[in-house]
């Protein structure tokens, strides 16, 4: 069992790297084109980047990490959307909160771009950790297949 979870964590980690690339590149392109410190615009940019990363995540996780549990049915898709929404809320709160904290502190002065990327990294770490556990225990749990077999 521990070996299986370790394997899922490793696969999830590799997929997480591809999600991170999508997420970071997207937000940095948006910030490069429209530099801003405005929290509302940062939320919009972060949400766009996160949605692209979550779509990438769904495709790869259903094909690899949780393929033996993925059924790609409406209930599973709804649970995936719910976990993604919760992870997005975590991501947005941490991103904007951490950015504001970094911008307002005076001990270590760093460029806004650096603060935004540090905040994004923290947001990605916390939301992806929550996302893994939500997908493992709620979205792609074993009971989905058992329930489907008993219904047929």
Query: How many Å apart are CA 46 and CA 149, to the nearest integer?
Result: 40
The pLDDT-based confidence of 1 (bands split at 50, 70, 90) is low
**pLDDT band at residue 144, thresholds of 50, 70 and 90?**
very low
- Stronger pLDDT, 100 or 139, i.e. the higher one: 100
Per-residue pLDDT reduced to its tens digit, 10-19: 777 788 889 8
pTM of the model: 0.75
Average pLDDT, the chain: 84
CB 115 within 8 A of CB 99: yes
Phi, psi of 15 (to 5 degrees): -65, -35
pLDDT in tens, 86-127: 999 999 999 999 999 999 998 888 999 999 999 999 999 999
- Report the alpha-carbon distance of residue 74 to residue 126 in Å, rounded: 27
């Amino acid at each position: 069992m521990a070996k299986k979870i370790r394997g899922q964590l490793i696969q999830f980690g590799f997929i997480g790297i591809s999600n991170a690339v999508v997420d970071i590149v997207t937000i940095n392109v948006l910030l490069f084109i429209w530099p801003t410190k405005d929290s509302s615009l940062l939320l919009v940019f972060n949400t766009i980047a996160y949605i692209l990363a979550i779509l990438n995540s769904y495709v790869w996780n259903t094909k690899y990490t949780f393929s033996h549990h993925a059924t790609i049915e409406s209930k599973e898709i709804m649970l995936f959307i719910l976990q993604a929404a919760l992870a997005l809320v975590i991501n947005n709160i941490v991103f904007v909160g951490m950015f504001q904290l970094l911008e307002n502190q005076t001990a270590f002065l760093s460029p806004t771009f650096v603060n935004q990327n540090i905040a994004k990294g923290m947001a990605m770490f916390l939301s992806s950790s929550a996302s893994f556990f939500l997908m493992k225990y709620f979205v792609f749990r074993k009971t989905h297949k058992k329930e489907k077999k008993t219904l047929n």
